[in-house]
Structure 1
């Protein structure tokens, strides 16, 4: 028997999702089979223009030349997922357009378009999930889609109020961003590269708060709460912390999966407490973080977002207000949407370049 790796340890604690659309990466870590495959506009663009997908791309553009670039992009996105579906245990995820983040009807229409393209590609609704930005208008699309059998994931989550709103919207799951967008953009100066992320990373407090709120809602309402599938990791240590938070899944990019698969858990134990956890409950070692919020700044009043507020009413007015009142969430959401908009325009340009040649 080989050495026990960090990936082995983490796999005992939660379901590993792969933050990558490349089938070769999904197969690289056998016998560990990823649960879900997530994606976003950047990952779709990168796979769409990859040399190994060139023929599929050209064929898809040619066949859809009279339907417009958006239909072609949705179709290509679903076809790229279809190439990977047999390497996964669970669902494939595509993200609704960031340009529609504040328009409920357009989010609904885009999710339906994805579902149609998935169906054509042979992927049923029970194996898909549509990522929607955690804004008031976008989350209002989730109950509509649920009635049609289309499940959603609330993404670009930076706050407890967004997580409560995603629960009210009956999202299947949520993806809190563990690292803020500007940590990625300026790792040398902005990223908190700490030894024990579960205890020391500034987002850890909000992770514990979300888990505790969901645990209370489960007990009070008897309803299942969204699964926690955090994303946006920069180090293997951060990914390991997700087990200690009691997360159901962790959405991990291929480079960090590789690091996790190499690190020896005996020779180089991961930080924190890596015993298998009770899902949904953070470990006692970090429970005290719930009463802190390093990201809120020095003027934080110690009050958590209330579960009594209807964050979806009036097109999500209360959620919009809560986001605007929290500078970290406002900036994080804005920068995430701007990045995905830029990626979508890259895909549009690539499709239009081929259309010109037809």
Structure 2
């Protein structure tokens, strides 16, 4: 048995890529995308037809170049999402622009639009997760969207405060960033590797998992942003894990048995007390976590930078169409 086959006994495996061929190869349940992944996938000759279709649809929409570029990106996200859903039995996560991370109303509007575009393609909204940054504003948007039946994946999650607020908002899914948490603490320790049994990213997801299961929250936990296979196997039992094609390949090429590490029955022994966070308490609690404060801000900037690359690409495609 391979580590991947063994892991799938306890955890739903999700592919973290926009490369549809890679997704088909590893047979995950779900898939996640972001602007950076789609930018790279859009450069591949295999997916040129999707780029051209998105450009045509943007041209039909009309307006100035910026409006058409925005339409191109929305359409490209949905076209890739539709293709991904042909090879995964579950859901695909489609991201709201990071530039909307502090705008509740705009996040809601973009989410509704993406869902409407999927519906135009005949895709039921149950198969879509709208990916939103775990800011206070993003969590509030997700709370409203969930009540409309639009399921959300709250990403860029680093602090316990974010996790608690997401659970209280009854969001469908959270994505704690294991590798980026590890990176911050490794840098703090002068670049020295941290022993596997002391990995702060793994510890963060374990704490959130135990808290959610102890108090019966329905929000699912999907560990994300892994640096190595060891981090993945130490979170066996998490509801979901989203894994890059490179690490999926390692798991598939390695013989072995994964032991369950996270268990809802064992979570009942957690010493965590139940919290209720209003905005002021959330902001203070999150602010007290230096790692989370820095990594959330950095993550939003990076996602926005990745989106700018995709936007430049979109403008070039639109210019070719109208020029």
Q: Same fold per TM (> 0.5)?
A: yes
User: Is the Cα contact below 8 Å between 1:40 and 1:94 reproduced in 2?
Assistant: yes
User: Is the Cα contact below 8 Å between 2:209 and 2:262 reproduced in 1?
Assistant: no
In the alignment, which residue of structure 1 is the partner of 2:116?
116
Q: Distance in 2 between matches of 1:264 and 1:282?
A: 28
Cα distance change of structure 1 residues 348 and 193 upon mapping to structure 2, 3 Å threshold = same
User: Is the Cα contact below 8 Å between 1:277 and 1:283 reproduced in 2?
Assistant: no
Q: Distance in 2 between matches of 1:43 and 1:103?
A: 24
RMSD of aligned residue pairs (Cα, Å): 2.5
Q: Does 1:236 align with 2:229?
A: yes
Q: Distance in 2 between matches of 1:23 and 1:121?
A: 18
User: Is the Cα contact below 8 Å between 2:78 and 2:117 reproduced in 1?
Assistant: yes
In structure 1, the residue corresponding to 2:154 is in which secondary structure? strand
Q: Does 1:250 align with 2:241?
A: yes
In the alignment, which residue of structure 1 is the partner of 2:9?
12
User: Is the Cα contact below 8 Å between 1:21 and 1:44 reproduced in 2?
Assistant: yes
Q: Which runs of 4+ in 1 moved over 6 A?
A: none
Decide which of 42, 52, 67 is 1:48's aligned counterpart. 42
Q: Does 1:61 align with 2:28?
A: no
Pairwise CA distance, 1:202: 1.7
Q: Distance in 1 between matches of 2:155 and 2:120?
A: 26
Describe how 1:269-280 pairs up with structure 2 within 5 A.
274-276=258-260, 279-280=263-264
Cα distance change of structure 1 residues 82 and 155 upon mapping to structure 2, 3 Å threshold = same
Q: Distance in 2 between matches of 1:70 and 1:282?
A: 47
- When normalised by structure 1's length, the TM-score is 0.81
Q: Distance in 2 between matches of 1:60 and 1:337?
A: 25
Q: Distance in 1 between matches of 2:18 and 2:55?
A: 20
In the alignment, which residue of structure 1 is the partner of 2:306?
343
Describe how 1:321-340 pairs up with structure 2 within 5 A.
321-340=284-303
Pairwise CA distance, 1:55: 2.8
Pairwise CA distance, 1:191: 7.3
Cα distance change of structure 1 residues 141 and 283 upon mapping to structure 2, 3 Å threshold = closer
User: Is the Cα contact below 8 Å between 1:212 and 1:281 reproduced in 2?
Assistant: no
Cα distance change of structure 1 residues 75 and 206 upon mapping to structure 2, 3 Å threshold = same
Higher percent of residues as helix: 2
Q: Distance in 1 between matches of 2:277 and 2:79?
A: 38
Tell me the number of residue pairs that the alignment of Structure 1 and Structure 2 aligns: 313
Q: Does 1:26 align with 2:23?
A: yes
In structure 1, the residue corresponding to 2:223 is in which secondary structure? coil
In structure 1, the residue corresponding to 2:13 is in which secondary structure? strand
Q: Distance in 2 between matches of 1:127 and 1:27?
A: 17
- When normalised by structure 2's length, the TM-score is 0.89
- After TM superposition, the structure 1 stretch with the greater mean CA deviation from structure 2, 57-66 or 37-46, is 57-66
Describe how 1:287-302 pairs up with structure 2 within 5 A.
none
Q: Distance in 2 between matches of 1:138 and 1:353?
A: 30
User: Is the Cα contact below 8 Å between 1:102 and 1:135 reproduced in 2?
Assistant: yes
Q: Distance in 1 between matches of 2:300 and 2:44?
A: 24
